[in-house]
Chains A and B, each alone.
Chain A
């Protein structure tokens, strides 16, 4: 079956531009996560949705970052006024059930954002 898909796969933005990154989770997956992976580092948690509700946004680095999942399926991560430090791979993951921490998260291929 189809896995988690993300688009675009690559995005180059000039500093100050706004960008929108899309995530299509596995069909029927209740939970959706966004992570940021800087070069040479492990992924870091950004935010979590259960259906359309954003239950945890503690990892969003600034108020320039905004995520939504209005119908409980597709999610968009928006970054306003991009800065060079926003350059990273943005990973989306989904999980089948209302998760406890032990539930497996399935990851998409990521969007590589480069801010010039």
Chain B
């Protein structure tokens, strides 16, 4: 069965510090990978996505993620966090073999301290 693990429920970083949010997946097929961000009361906004090709993908708001097939990981990074980045972040996985549904991780809540 497909599953996505985000090991960190909460992360707190200082404004200006670097950030890495972890995502590991278990999939029986070549996955497509996504990172979404959700602010309170808001829907999910796509930060970036990986389909194929270059394993380092750039997204909006200065985020990037690297797909590592050997580690089944797709970690999200940002070199310098801003207070406005405080939100909940979800990693999601899909695959053609499993239809069109996305499987989400449980999310990581990011707190930014000034």
Contact = CB atoms under 8 A, between A and B. Distances in A.
Interface of A: 3-4, 31, 33, 35, 40-45, 48, 55-56, 59, 91, 93, 95, 99-110
A104 B49 contact: yes
Contacts of A45: 101-103
A35 B90 CA distance: 14
B49 to A, nearest CB: 6
Given A41-B107, A101-B94, A102-B94, A33 B101 contact: yes
A43 B99 contact: no
Nearest to A92: B43
A98 B34 CA distance: 18
The range of chain B's interface size is 20 to 34
Contacts of B17: none
Contact of A31 (B32, B36, B100): B100
A4 B43 contact: yes
11 contacts: A4-B43, A33-B100, A33-B101, A43-B90, A45-B102, A45-B103, A55-B100, A95-B100, A100-B100, A105-B102, A106-B46
A56 B102 CA distance: 12
Contacts, number: 71
Interface of B: 4, 32, 34, 36, 41-46, 49, 51, 90, 92, 94-96, 98-107
Contact of A43 (B41, B94, B104): B104
Contacts of B95: 101
Residue from B34, B49, B51, B104 with most neighbouring chain A CB atoms (10 Å): B104
A42 B98 contact: no
A66 B4 CA distance: 27
Contacts of B94: 101-102
Contacts of A109: 41-43
B105 to A, nearest CB: 5
Nearest to B6: A42
B34 to A, nearest CB: 8
Contacts of B44: 43, 91, 93, 107
Contacts of B98: 101
B54 to A, nearest CB: 15
